[in-house]
A and B are shown apart, each in its own frame.
Chain A
Amino acid sequence: MSVGPGAFLALAAVLFAAGLYGAVARRGPLAVLMSLQMMAIAVNLNIVTFTRFVTPAEQAGKLLPVFSLTVAVLHLGLGVALVSGASRRARSVQRGSAGPAGAGER
């Protein structure tokens, strides 16, 4: 039994919808970032499916998932950096200190 492109596209659509719901409905930043990663995986599944079944000779189909994943990881990295920066700063404020020398003074 072979699985056609429709099944992969449907799976990608379900993943994308689940990720979209998570990104819109969840309030925690890490949950939102994970939902965004799920959307990125759905997009990549779409592209790989099209490349495999529709345009196997197209080079762009091999490049696009690489760039897409890289960008998704960049979003994740920037998001985690901002979350950790905010939580570190919040902790230092709670302790009653001004944090690292000069930080937040401007």
Chain B
Amino acid sequence: MMGGFTQFVPEAALLVPVPVALLLGSRLRERWIAWLAMISCGVAGVSAWYAPTMLDQASAVTTTLDTTAGAARLAICVLAALWLAWVAARGAGAERSGEAVGLALLSTLGGLLLASATDLVVAFVAMELTVLPAYVLLGYSRHDVPVLKGVLKQMTRSALASMIALYGISFLYGLTGATSFEGIATSLPEAGPLGATGAILAVGGLLARLTLLYRCASARSGVAGSSVFTAFVASVPAFSMSVFLAQFLSQALTVRSLQTILVAGAVFCLAVGLYVIVREQEPRELLAGAGTVHIGFLMAGLAVLVAASPGSSIDAVPVQVSQLAVVAPRVDALVIYAFTYSIAALALGLLLAGTEGEGPRYGRRLAMRAAAVLLASLAGVPPLAGFAGRWLLLRSVHEAGFGWLVATGVAVSIVSAWYVVRAALSRAGSAEAQATAEEERITGSGPGGWLSEDRLSLSLAVSAVLVGGAVLWVFWF
């Protein structure tokens, strides 16, 4: 009996500071609340990592704590703790930031549940728990009418995607009589074309929702006026949804036509993302383009998780235990790729937040170089974190027999890396950057404190290199 409760220790640890943040957020200093939340994230991360060893798996009906889920939960806590460390050191730059910390904790809690869900009811509730506070956070940041309208537009689109996914889930439930991944995998082959259509609607809605989270990083979404919060939205909830999609597709869905649709979607997203990167020069737009390319790579990784042999039939096929064993390493590769992208996107979003609303301070030399390193990581330049994750993902796609998709991915990576590096170098040589450097030389090196912009930039860039090196070392050697 205790095993069932032990599983939820990380969630309980995250819940502890939430009442403090929500009820006393306007009275206490936001940084104290952020420190408290960061400590609870640390406790949650450690307990998430050790929970599988304490858990009686038989008591876990709607969630799983296998190694992949445990590592993903730890990664979610790490991402949230990094964001909270920023808020603790530099503030969120918004009114009632203490309450914003509470909302971020709720979103993280939903992400933890989502990453380990093996039942569609739990997954649906967890997904809403992680996404809805994220949109509230985006609306929290400003009182500008355009920003509020932008958040409303993104939120209604997200709700539309949620309804489409839920409509598909209703067919999956009705035709298989189950909401657990195992039950769906067992009964889906007998559900016929309607069951396969339900699966396609469900995955399509979930992917649309995930895409909208990355879309918030774009200036054209109308909500990009608050990078601190967009950085959070594009990391914690988006990573949690990526992990859930990987688990859902690998364990429950065996629909042949889904694989074809995902591959086509991957090629489309890679093309659109590359188009954005080639056309744009601004870091935030480059981040949005990199997000679209990332969705393309994610779809390629998800396509090879569908445990089905190639074919043209829309019907689902019976799942084989041997197929599950084959796709398990591919799930790991996809989760690692999603994490390496999320951590670089979070770091770049926070770096942009540090220069937000203060004119051309992107030209600050070290911050600019760190942003260039992070953008290069997002574009997949070796030996950075982004390259390591992308290499693992493309290796699993190649093993699944999609050589042409790997070639497309490599080509997109090379071209996008070239354009990203070129954009970064052109900014470095601009008159604006040189003027800012001259201003720095005269006035000093920017804001002080233990987390000064210089130290922060340097540590973010170095971590991008170190994470990439660590992943490559573990998986190559």
Contacts and interface: CB of A to CB of B under 8 A. Distances in A.
Interface residues of B, number: 39
A78 B179 contact: no
A75 B177 contact: no
Given A47-B173, A89-B143, A68 B166 contact: yes
B124 A71 contact: yes
A69 B437 CA distance: 56
Interface stretch (B11-19, B153-161, B414-422): B153-161
Contacts of A19: 163
A103 B95 contact: yes
A60 B174 contact: no
Contacts of A39: 160, 163, 167
A74 B132 contact: yes
Contacts of A23: 156, 160
Contacts of A60: 119-121, 173, 178-179
Nearest to A75: B159
A43 B159 contact: no
Interface in A57-87: 58, 60-61, 63-64, 67-68, 71-72, 74-75, 78-79, 81-83, 85-86
A72 B167 CA distance: 13
Contacts of A46: 167, 170-171, 174
B145 interface: yes
B174 A54 contact: yes
A46 to B, nearest CB: 4
A16 B132 CA distance: 22
Contacts of B94: 106
A44 B121 CA distance: 13
Contacts of B144: 89, 104
B149 to A, nearest CB: 6
Nearest to B144: A104
B406 interface: no
B156 A104 contact: no
Contacts of A14: none
Interface stretch (B38-46, B134-142, B266-274, B291-299): B134-142
A85 B138 CA distance: 13
A29 B156 contact: yes
A63 B148 contact: no
Interface in A21-38: 23-24, 29, 32-33, 36
Contact of B170 (A47, A74, A81, A90): A47
A96 interface: no
A46 B172 CA distance: 11
Contacts of B174: 46-47, 49-51, 54-55
Contact of A90 (B93, B145, B163, B179): B145
Contacts of A68: 124, 166
B151 interface: yes
B142 A104 contact: yes
Contacts of B163: 16, 19, 36, 39-40, 43, 72
Contacts of B132: 74-75, 78
Contacts of B166: 40, 43, 68
20 contacts: A16-B167, A20-B164, A24-B160, A29-B152, A29-B156, A32-B156, A39-B163, A40-B163, A55-B177, A58-B173, A63-B121, A64-B124, A64-B173, A67-B124, A68-B166, A71-B124, A75-B156, A85-B139, A86-B145, A104-B144
Interface of B: 93-95, 119-121, 124-125, 128, 132, 135-136, 139, 142-145, 148-149, 151-152, 155-156, 159-160, 162-164, 166-167, 169-171, 173-175, 177-179
List of 10 A-B pairs having minimum Cβ-Cβ separation, nearest first: A50-B174, A104-B143, A86-B148, A46-B170, A39-B163, A75-B159, A82-B152, A60-B179, A55-B177, A103-B143
Given A42-B167, A46-B167, 14 more contacts: A16-B167, A24-B160, A39-B160, A40-B166, A49-B174, A50-B175, A55-B174, A67-B125, A71-B125, A74-B132, A82-B152, A82-B155, A85-B143, A89-B143
